[in-house]
A and B are shown apart, each in its own frame.
Chain A
Amino acid sequence: DTGVSQNPRHKITKRGQNVTFRCDPISEHNRLYWYRQTLGQGPEFLTYFQNEAQLEKSRLLSDRFSAERPKGSFSTLEIQRTEQGDSAMYLCASSLDGLDGYTFGSGTRLTVV
């Protein structure tokens, strides 16, 4: 297995545009997590899935954010009407049982101009 894969690695978009990121977890992992990391900060939890069910969503996630994991495999994170404050690194992680330490992808760096 090649680990957790995130695409694209970088995304530059104009304010007001919609963007979508993709995460492919380790194949046997049923848990998938999204985090956001800004410069000088630790990652902040956004949401997580167990299989296709979205079990928790952070209050940080405004209505402009939506995440899906339609078949319990890959996941997408969409941001609508992007704002400059959305500029950050978006990290995806997956886990087998929630206690194995989570395997993180390399992230998607979003820049909103």
Chain B
Amino acid sequence: AQSVTQLDSQVPVFEEAPVELRCNYSSSVSVYLFWYVQYPNQGLQLLLKYLSGSTLVKGINGFEAEFNKSQTSFHLRKPSVHISDTAEYFCAVRPMGGNEKLTFGTGTRLTIIP
């Protein structure tokens, strides 16, 4: 089984400042990793994913994440945030192999302060 921990439930950040949203996972098998964003009253939108290869993954809206296997982490970063980045961010994992179940963390609410 897999589990995902997002330790920060809320992160306030000033506009144009950098941000890092933390994600750690636990799994007995190798996993694929994902970050999703959820704007109010909307469904989840894929920001980026790690399947294999380079551990630094770039996504939409200027976000990037780095996979660290030894620390079982997949932290999300953005060098300069904008008001429009205010949303809920979810980290998720899926085991490699036949099981296609995504396991999500509890989410981090990012609030941008003007």
Contacts and interface: CB of A to CB of B under 8 A. Distances in A.
Interface residues of A, number: 26
Given A41-B107, A42-B107, A43-B90, A102 B102 contact: yes
A43 B102 CA distance: 9
Interface in A85-106: 91, 93, 95, 98-99, 101-106
Interface stretch (B11-19, B41-49, B65-73): B41-49
Interface residues of B, number: 24
Interface in A37-73: 40-45, 48, 55-56, 58
A74 B39 CA distance: 25
A88 to B, nearest CB: 14
A103 B104 CA distance: 15
Given A41-B107, A101-B49, A31 B100 contact: yes
A102 B46 contact: yes
Contacts of B90: 42-43
Contact of A99 (B42, B51, B103, B105): B51
Contacts, number: 55
A25 interface: no
Please indicate which of the listed interface residues A43, A44, A99, A107 has the most CB atoms of chain B within 10 Å of its own CB.
A43
Contacts of B105: 42
Contacts of B34: 101
B101 A45 contact: yes
B63 interface: no
B54 interface: no
Contacts of B107: 40-42
Interface in A11-29: none
25 contacts: A4-B43, A31-B100, A33-B102, A41-B106, A41-B107, A42-B4, A42-B107, A43-B44, A43-B90, A43-B104, A45-B102, A48-B100, A48-B101, A56-B100, A56-B101, A91-B44, A93-B44, A99-B49, A101-B34, A101-B46, A102-B102, A104-B36, A105-B43, A106-B42, A107-B43
